[in-house]
Amino acid sequence: MTPSDQAVVFIIDDDDRMRAATQRLLKTVGLHSEAFATPQEFLRHKLPDVVSCLVLDVRLPGMSGLELQQKLNEAETRIPIIFITSHGDIPMTVTAMKSGAVEFLTKPFRDQDLLDAIQQALEREGETRQQRREIRKLKERYETLTARERQVMGLLVSGMLTKQIASRLGTSEVTAQVHRGQVMHKMRVNTPIELGRIAEKLDLPVAN
């Protein structure tokens, strides 16, 4: 990783010593971190477009960690969260995990437990970002198809042969074959099965 795309671990904790200790720990394993005393301070910060996660204290002045998690979800700000707290309880843990938290650690916890949770969060975020990039590329390819080619793609992934597609569209088999070739070329696939996988990823409706 170059410095510009290096993963970042954000820390929000109103305890100065805890913030500093967490940053020192992360530095020992080569992880870059940025620390904030309050959720408000974090929200004013522009998040870089890199793999990241958030180590978040539950009990904070002004806005709790759970309230911040809800706010981030509402804003569709996708960042995996590891909650830490001195006073955890089961309902609080359930709420956090249902809302997408990666881990919920109760103080005192082992340094290794925190590092393991952070590693899991960063790996998950890396995979998610990769999937989003792939979907974006597939959407761009799909948008290059004409309306008729999209029809043909829908019929192809439903299992129809070229002859059946021609009959359904009221065109010659040669014309249907040309459309099929264009679809395969533009979507960069060799078989209808590959095309079907793309249709699934893009959540396209299947022709009846």
* pLDDT tens by residue, 1-29: 333 358 999 999 999 999 999 999 999 99
Q: How far is CA 72 from CA 65, 80, 173, 176, in A?
A: 11, 10, 52, 48
* pLDDT tens by residue, 63-118: 888 899 999 989 888 899 999 987 766 677 777 777 778 888 888 889 999 999 99
Confidence (pLDDT) at 117: 95
- Given a cut of 90, whether residue 187 has pLDDT beyond it is yes
Confidence (pLDDT) at 96: 75
Looking at residues 54-60, what average pLDDT do you find? 91
Looking at residues 34-41, what average pLDDT do you find? 94
* pLDDT tens by residue, 131-158: 999 999 999 999 999 999 999 999 999 9
Q: What are the structural domains of the chain?
A: 3-137 (3.40.50.2300), 144-201 (1.10.10.10)
0.85 surpassed by pTM: no
Contact present, 149 and 183 (Cβ < 8 Å): yes
Per-residue DSSP letter, 8: E
Per-residue DSSP letter, 30: T
Confidence (pLDDT) at 1: 37
**CB-side exposure of 72: number of CA atoms within 13 Å?**
26
Q: What is the DSSP string of 120-137?
A: HHHHHHHHHHHHHHHHHH
- Given a cut of 90, whether residue 161 has pLDDT beyond it is yes
Confidence (pLDDT) at 20: 95
φ, ψ dihedrals at 83, nearest 5°: -85, 140
C-alpha angle 38-105-52 in degrees, rounded to nearest 5: 60
**What gap in Å lies between CA 33 and CA 59, rounded to an integer?**
21
Confidence (pLDDT) at 160: 93
* pLDDT tens by residue, 189-207: 999 999 999 999 999 987 7
Q: Which of 173, 163, 168 is nearest to 208 (CA)?
A: 168
